[in-house]
Amino acid sequence: MNRQDALDYHSSPRPGKIAVVPTKPLANQRDLSLAYSPGVAEPCLEIEKNPEDAYRYTARGNLVAVVTNGTAVLGLGNIGALAGKPVMEGKGNLFKQFADIDVFDLEVDSPKPEDVIRFCQLLEPSVGGINLEDIKAPDCFLIEETLRKTMKIPVFHDDQHGTAIISGAALINALEVVGKRMEDVRVVFSGAGASAIATAMHYERLGVRREHIVMCDRAGVIHAGREGHMDPYKARFATATAARTLAEALVDADVFVGLSAAGTVSREMVAAMARDPIVFALANPVPEILPEEVAAVRPDAIVATGRSDYPNQVNNVLGFPFIFRGALDARATEVNEEMKMAATRALAMLAREPVPESVARRYGLKRVKFGRDYLIPFPFDPRVLLWVAPAVAWAAVASGVAKEFIEVDAYREQLEARLGRARGVLRGIINRAMSDPKRVVLAEGEERRTIRAARILVDDGIAFPILLGNRERIVRKAASEHVSLDDIEIEDPAELSPRREAFARYLWERRQRKGMSLVEANRRLYNPNYYGCVMVATGVADAMLSGATTTYPETLRPALEVIGAHPKAGLVSGMYMLVFEKRIIFCADTTVNFEPTAEQLAQIGYAASRVVRTLGEVPRVAMLSFSNFGSVRGEEATRVAQAVQLLRQRDPRLTVDGEMQADTAVDAATLTESFPFSVLKEPANVLIFPNLSAGNIAYKLLHHLGGATAIGPILVGMARPVHVLEQGADVQDIVNMAAVAVMDAQDRSRPAADRVAPAPAGTGTVPAPTL
């Protein structure tokens, strides 16, 4: 990751990562009088009479304070409250994205535990819960213990309990896989901070015997009678043992839990562990020992890390958003041990359930099965919310700390309505790309945005980028942007080489009957778009991306001339993915075909639905017109209705209907009440427009006025992966589209029958693009 990228992310276009969003209209004088004086007096009086009504009339019930004093921020140490604010904003972002919980991040400018305690106590009327964050040990223990005793809202220190809860689920399942019992295993900890101590205590509640737990810190094994480097919390785990070093403690140990630093554990230490060792190397970003190092000496080991690029990621985001969701909805007065245990067991049970194909696809996997490489759910599995939050809420009810009774089935329905699935799709595309990166040509390689995007693609393992352009200019611009070009390939279309001569001959042979001479083919290759397309066509690269600085026709024309449509598709179309807060809409055709025939509309709908499936979504296709199921007669409406029939013949399993108006397609009530005969029982997520004007206008309005994130245009039907950026695309747009291009290239590597099905009968040649 480039330092400047991180700074730009936090500073642009608006500083910070969170904002306050109004939930009520304020459009006129009446709204103003209701929102403020005099109308606001009424809920104030109701709350004065009954303080519990604050949960009815204010946002308190969905509001968490993330509180820190900055004394132990990530791996940065005691950097102070203000410097820790970006981390707290990030925590707030995760609360909102994963569990729809609102957050105020509050940084307390005092290192004294008593000040933090008093500050939180004074906050109680304002918030529904408090998440303590990045407070040093042992102060964090005192603060949390005191607040839990003196406050009547949930207080939770994620640094302590998050890792305990998530790794506890992994431990339950790992022991199941290797056939060992909790009460029999010996567990060794590297690290004795807040997280390690809380995790050891949680494991003890899971059934690990305290005398089987050995904890090590920088001074070695915490043993009975040790003097120095001790506090009351470490003393709980002072063990009667002859071991004095981590290496000695790990001999014949069943479980290693690393919450310390990179490189703490050697291969020799792991080799000395008991049969089927369980290694949780959780230091970030570099674990105590890498999984490949473990595998080299102990192929029978089960390994978990805190990283997303290895199996079994122990990530706290699997815990705190959903724990607070359940606690808030049950109106719990605390987060007790029963609730933490419920979260652990819910995660462990969910991992044993069959994993939906849509979830596996988000991580670039065909199938996922419980076992050594899948002990805990993926962070972007939408089922986590539906399992953990109800388990926590019900545990609050059962243990007597809830003020609201939770009926689990009805509660799950509420949770599904609260969060749409859109949040996971973008991450799913990135994850799938990371699973099998491909070589992606970036034709505008001299652009600063492209160079920075290439760095991200390499650092995040999304793709192997190839920058096209003048080598000296690329190097100079990268230096000016402080971007390393390590592992980034540069290809200069102007450099004479045997490869360039071969490319020219290939282009000439492909276009010689279209009037192109070998001299002209050589000249065309000075254009990066032609050069990049030939690289893809000849297999030197897997995909190409261009268009941030050129017009759409300038980018599309070389692709059609050099690569063209897939022979079994016969039609190229353009699709945009529009990501809203709680839903995703796919729009086609938005960029290529002016007035498609019924056969072409059917092909556009079929191709779009296949792409939607590869993204892990179930396509629900609406063929749009100005008419609802024959309500208005006209040539266009008839053509769209014919397309519906052709598409149903092509894929009888596909949910598709029309012709219908746009509002009908996206409104469930209209579909079910006015048109109960429609096969669409839920709002459509794939909209096929009757012509280019409608599609192009609609996606732009949805993007600019509707606030949707637009990803595209995704070219569908090309013989090889070429995708076009919008003019002015920023760095993140380029990264997103590169991930789409990688995913497209991955799909091409599957058997042909799984990639492109034949076009419907009557489909003609590729129509003229929008030039």
Give the residue numbers marked as catalytic: 36, 91
Residues in the chain: 771
Q: Where are the beta strands (DSSP E) in 110-164?
A: 129-132, 155-157
Spatial distance between the Cα atoms of 629 and 728, rounded to a whole number of angstroms: 40
| Other Cβ atoms closer than 10 A to 36 | 11
Residue in the structure block whose two tokens are 């209705």: 641
Kindly state the tokens that stand for 329: 């909805």
First to last CA, the chain: 38
179: phi then psi, degrees, rounded to nearest 5? 75, 40
| Sheet strands side by side (includes 213-217) | 220-221, 213-217, 187-190, 255-258, 278-281, 302-305
Q: Give the three-class secondary structure for 339.
A: helix
DSSP string, 495-557: S--HHHHHHHHHHHHHHGGGT--HHHHHHHTTSHHHHHHHHHHTTSSSEEEE-SSS-HHHHHH
- Which of 715, 770, 765 minimizes the C-alpha distance to 744? 715
Kindly state the tokens that stand for 113: 């535990």
Q: How many CA atoms within 13 Å lie on the side-chain side of 30? A: 1
**Are 680 and 620 a contacting pair, CB within 8 Å?**
yes
Buried b (16+ CB within 10 A) or exposed e, 301-326: bbbbbbbbebbbbbbbbbbbbbbbbb
| Sheet strands side by side (includes 573-579) | 655-660, 620-624, 686-688, 584-588, 573-579, 709-716
Spatial distance between the Cα atoms of 245 and 226, rounded to a whole number of angstroms: 13
User: Which 3-state string (H, E, C) describes 61-103?
Assistant: HHEEEEEECCCCECCCECCCCCCCHHHHHHHHHHHHHHHCCEE
Q: Give the three-class secondary structure for 326.
A: helix
Q: Give the three-class secondary structure for 715.
A: strand
Kindly state the tokens that stand for 116: 């933090």
Strands 573-579 and 584-588: antiparallel
Residue in the structure block whose two tokens are 């969060």: 419
| Other Cβ atoms closer than 10 A to 331 | 21
Spatial distance between the Cα atoms of 739 and 229, rounded to a whole number of angstroms: 49
**Are 570 and 759 a contacting pair, CB within 8 Å?**
yes
**Are 632 and 670 a contacting pair, CB within 8 Å?**
no
Spatial distance between the Cα atoms of 220 and 238, rounded to a whole number of angstroms: 11
Is the sign of the CA dihedral 88, 92, 95, 97 positive or negative? negative
Q: Is 543 left (phi over 0), alpha (psi -120 to 50) or beta?
A: beta
